[in-house]
């Protein structure tokens, strides 16, 4: 069983930590369109501090990477929502909360950004491979992204597919 998920009646459901992590990753990726560069921890922490909420580096990374306990602090999640200019309901996990237009309007860019990160990572990690092999890897990635656009739009990677941070966000 994947540490970021729970087993329920034979079907794997993402944990609350993983759901929050995916939402934060989508917001980070979508914010690149607005800002033109990655949003840094220091920017996020400063925005939270301006709203009267402390965010430690450790807490941010375990929220972003789904590696710690679930964060449900409404003040913190609201401060993060305000920083990214989305409804607090989105991060608070309120039933019926809509995916923000910031994300839905930029899904093609987010998909391309993530595929590019995977391709760059593969090129670095597998640098000794022949160009044809790297091309095959690129084709598999493109085919996988095309297969499930609604899964990508929701930020879902599918059962038992939690990509590590270098693939999803470098901030």
Report how far residue 119's alpha carbon sits from residue 137's, in angstroms, rounded to the nearest whole number.
Answer: 8
User: Angle at CA 10, nearest 5°, toward 7 and 16?
Assistant: 30
Mean pLDDT check: name the lowest of 55-59, 70-74, 114-118: 114-118
pLDDT confidence tier of residue 147, bands split at 50, 70 and 90: low
| Single pTM value for the model | 0.64
**Each residue of 11-52: pLDDT tens digit?**
578 889 999 999 999 899 888 877 888 899 999 999 999 999
Report how far residue 110's alpha carbon sits from residue 122's, in angstroms, rounded to the nearest whole number.
Answer: 18
Q: 3-state secondary structure string, 77-136?
A: HHHHHHHCCCCHHHHHCCCCCCCCHHHHCCHHHHHHHHHHHHHHHHHHHCCCCCHHHHHH
SS3 assignment, position 1: coil
């Amino acid at each position: 069983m994947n540490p970021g998920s729970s087993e329920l009646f034979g079907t794997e459901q993402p944990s609350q930590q993983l759901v929050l992590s995916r939402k934060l990753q989508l917001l980070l990726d979508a914010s690149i369109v607005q800002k033109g560069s990655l949003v840094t921890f220091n920017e996020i922490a400063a925005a939270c501090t301006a709203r009267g909420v402390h965010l430690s580096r450790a807490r941010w990374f375990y929220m972003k990477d789904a590696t710690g306990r679930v964060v449900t602090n409404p003040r913190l999640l609201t401060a993060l929502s305000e920083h990214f200019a989305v409804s607090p309901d989105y991060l608070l996990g309120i039933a019926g909360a809509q995916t923000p237009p910031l994300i839905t309007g930029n899904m093609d860019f987010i998909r391309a950004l993530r595929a590019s990160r995977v391709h760059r990572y593969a090129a670095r990690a597998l640098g000794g491979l022949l160009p044809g092999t790297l091309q095959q890897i690129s084709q598999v990635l493109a085919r996988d992204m095309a297969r499930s656009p609604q899964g990508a739009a929701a930020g879902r990677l599918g059962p038992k597919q939690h990509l590590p941070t270098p693939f999803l966000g470098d901030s």
